[in-house]
Amino acid sequence: MSEISKLAELRKLLFEMERSIGLQNLSAAERDIYYAASDLAEVRRDVKTTRLQAHKLVIGISRPTFFRALKSLVNKGYLRQNAAAGRGFYHVESSR
Amino acid sequence: MTSDTGDSDLIKETVIISIAYVLAFAVTFKLLLPVQNIFFPKFPSYASLLFLPHGVRVLAAWLLGWRSVIALFPGVFFSFWYVAGMGVFEPSRLFAISVAVFIPAATFHTMRRLGVDLFPAAGKTPCWHCIVLTSITISALTASMTNIAITRTLNDLFAYLIGDFFGMFFLMTILMFFFRSLRQSEE
């Protein structure tokens, strides 16, 4: 595991703590999609929607919930649509 | 990963973790303990109610596994040396240092063998309260084993357990608010 992913894992742990004590406003679906996107972004900077849907954290989420949560994550600034990379590509905001 | 990269990663991890351990130790004994002695004068003066280095030990072991033994060693050794001076080379203190660096990783690995794998992995949601609970086990094991080398009373052991638990929780809370404010400042 690289240095960056260790820091990402630590942030994931504390983000989870923040969520469970009620300081974070992400739903369970939004959280899982965000974690999955963070995982995939370690391999490739821009994450494709189809790869995100195939991720094991996301696979159990229904299609309508997935797209609703994805839209909400973009609105909240956790993910950003990357028009340059092509349709259906998202960038995980590094500050998260 | 080449062995050069692996070695350089281990050096970086060791520097970061040991500095974090020494900083946590300094904050505990130079800042928190004097305040504690004002508010809780009857609590054993050498046992901190918020022993932050325990949190560093647990989080390092969770993130690095066996590599945390090496990464923690310089920081733990320095902290013992700061307290005991050259007495750090006494067999009882060397044993206590070994226990402090070895038990956290050993506990996470033993739990994995027992079917409770808490180590971070891609596609896995971390269980923060499981890690806090594991930190209690680590604290109990560390205190009991250290007691073999350095005899303490039951009250001392209880004080160390309280300090380790609240130290772990407090450190995680500090880090949680740190990352939260970092996120919000960049929004």
The predicted-structure confidence for B76-85, as pLDDT tens digits, reads as follows 999 999 999 9
The predicted model gives A76-90 an average pLDDT of 79
Q: Is there a contact between B96 and B40 (Cβ–Cβ < 8 Å)?
A: no
Compare CB distances from A10 to B9, B59, B125 and report the shortest one's residue.
B59
Bridge partners, A91 (sequence order) = A46, A80
Mean pLDDT (chain A) is: 81
Q: Is there a contact between B105 and B66 (Cβ–Cβ < 8 Å)?
A: yes
Q: What is the pLDDT of residue B6?
A: 67
Task: Count CB-CB contacts under 10 A for residue A51.
Answer: 17
Model confidence pLDDT, tens digit, residues A42-77: 777 788 899 899 988 888 889 999 999 998 888 877
CATH number of the domain within which A64 lies: 1.10.10.10
Model confidence pLDDT, tens digit, residues B98-111: 999 999 999 999 99
List the A89-92 sheet strands across, edge first.
A46-48, A89-92, A79-81
- Which residue range is the domain that position A18 belongs to? 3-92
Amino acid (one-letter) located at A64:
P
Query: Does residue B37 surpass a pLDDT of 90?
Result: no
Q: What is the pLDDT of residue A36?
A: 87
**Counted domains in chain A:** 1
Model confidence pLDDT, tens digit, residues B41-69: 776 656 788 999 999 999 999 999 999 99
Q: What is the pLDDT of residue B44?
A: 65
User: With an 8 Å Cβ cutoff, is A36 touching chain B?
Assistant: yes
The predicted model gives B131-147 an average pLDDT of 92
Q: Is there a contact between A26 and A74 (Cβ–Cβ < 8 Å)?
A: no
- If contacts are CB pairs under 8 Å, which of residues 127-186 in chain B contact chain A? 127-129, 131, 172, 175-176, 179-180, 182-183, 186
Cβ-count burial B12-30 (b if 16+ within 10 Å, e if not): ebbebbbebbbebbebbbe
A31 vs B46, residue with greater confidence: A31
Cβ-based contacts of A13 with chain B (< 8 Å): 62, 120, 126, 128, 131, 172
Q: Test A3 with B129 for CB contact under 8 angstroms.
A: no
ipTM: 0.84
Pairwise CA distance, residues A43 & A41, whole Å: 5
- Which residue range is the domain that position B153 belongs to? 3-185
**Counted domains in chain B:** 1
Compare CB distances from B120 to A2, A9, A32 and report the shortest one's residue.
A9
Q: What is the pLDDT of residue B8?
A: 78
pTM of the entire predicted model: 0.77
Q: What is the pLDDT of residue A95?
A: 45
Pairwise CA distance, residues B61 & B70, whole Å: 10
Residues present in chain A in total:
96
Q: What is the pLDDT of residue B105?
A: 97
User: With an 8 Å Cβ cutoff, is B42 touching chain A?
Assistant: no
Cβ-based contacts of A9 with chain B (< 8 Å): 63, 120, 126
Q: Test B182 with A95 for CB contact under 8 angstroms.
A: yes
Mean pLDDT (chain B) is: 88
Query: Does residue A83 surpass a pLDDT of 80?
Result: no
Q: What is the pLDDT of residue B184?
A: 67
**Confidence tier at B1 by pLDDT (50, 70, 90):** very low
User: Which residue, among A6, A9, A3, has the nearest Cα to B12 in the 3D structure?
Assistant: A3
A17 vs B105, residue with greater confidence: B105
Q: What is the pLDDT of residue A96?
A: 45
